[in-house]
Structure 1
Amino acid sequence: MNLSDYVIKRNGVPIGSSDSLRNMLNRSLGAGTFSEFWQYWNPIWGYYMGMYIFKPLKSILPSSLSLVLTFVACGFIHDLAVMLIKWKFSLLLTQWFLLIGLSVILGKYTNINYSKFPLIVRVVINTTVIAGCFFIAHQTNNLW
């Protein structure tokens, strides 16, 4: 699947559409599982992470480990951008994305599904998981 088709599949509209951001936010924040959140969040970035990190890892490692390592790689790429700007070493975002990846796996393993809750509840759950992972990563990062 090429990028254009992938974005339409995830976002419901083509790249550059005026409805792209709205659709991404509605679909991701309103997702009924935390793994579903990540299927819709930033589809362009997700396409490349899936194509160049997840798929190659999945060919040699279990799917769950490949997923977690893909999140770690994503966090590290974000950290590299911050380090280039600040000229200061930090792995905060790598830690954060590690926790997010583990949360995705935990949610799948335990079959946590909140799709029957109203939209606002799903939004609160998804943002709470993301914020909770950041809080823990931030607290852990302060220990270094």
Structure 2
Amino acid sequence: MTLAEYVKKRNGVPMSSPRSLRNNLYRSLGAKNFSTFWKYWNPIFGYYLGQKVFRPSRVYFSKSVSLLITFCVCGLLHDLVTLLFRGSTSWFFTIWFLLMGSAVLITRLLNHNFTEKKWIVRALFNLSIILFCFILTLYLTKVAGTFGSFIHKYLSGVLT
């Protein structure tokens, strides 16, 4: 499947259509579950991640592990952008995307399906998972930063 065919399948309209972004937001936010949200979200990026990361990793790993690898690579690419602009990275996006990939697997395991719910309920559900993973990432990076500072101070005291 070509990129153009993939985007049309996900958005219902060609890439160049003025309705492409609207369709993308409507379909992804109102998806029946969190896994389906990611099928619609950013189809161009999703296409390349699927072709260059997920498919090759499936040769060696299960679908679940391949999915987590794909989410981590996506986070690493986002962290690379922050590295280029800030000169340093916090691994924030890698952690955030790993958590969201884990949320995909958990919601699949729980067999979440909100097809019968109104669009706004589905959108709020999908956004709440993203927000929860974001807040958890903030907490984890703060804890990791605090722990890292503690270790650095301890080692500095021991080594001097």
Partner SS state of residue 16, structure 2 = coil
Residues in 2 aligned to 1:130 and 1:68: alpha-carbon distance in whole angstroms = 16
- What's the C-alpha RMSD, in Å, of the aligned pairs? 0.7
Task: State the shift of 1:89 in Å.
Answer: 2.1
Tell me what 1:95 maps to.
95
Partner SS state of residue 76, structure 1 = helix
Residues in 2 aligned to 1:20 and 1:60: alpha-carbon distance in whole angstroms = 35
Tell me what 2:127 maps to.
127
% identity of equivalent residues: 44
Residues in 2 aligned to 1:58 and 1:107: alpha-carbon distance in whole angstroms = 21
> What amino acid sits opposite 2:89 in the alignment?
F
Bigger relative contact order, structure 1 or 2, given CA contacts below 8 A and separation 6+?
Answer: 1
Task: State the shift of 1:90 in Å.
Answer: 1.2
TM, length-normalised to structure 1:
0.98
Structure 1 stretches lacking a partner, 5+ long = none
Residues in 1 aligned to 2:88 and 2:33: alpha-carbon distance in whole angstroms = 35
> How many residues end up aligned between the 2 structures?
144
Tell me what 1:39 maps to.
39
Tell me what 1:110 maps to.
110
> What amino acid sits opposite 1:113 in the alignment?
N
> What amino acid sits opposite 1:30 in the alignment?
G
Structure 2 stretches lacking a partner, 5+ long = 146-160
- Tell me the alpha carbon deviations over residues 35-69 of structure 1, each in whole angstroms, 9 at most, x when there is no partner: 00000000000000000000000111000010011
Tell me what 1:141 maps to.
141
Determine whether 1:77 maps to 2:77: yes
Runs of 4+ deviating beyond 4 Å: none
Tell which structure's C-alpha radius of gyration is larger: 2
TM, length-normalised to structure 2:
0.88
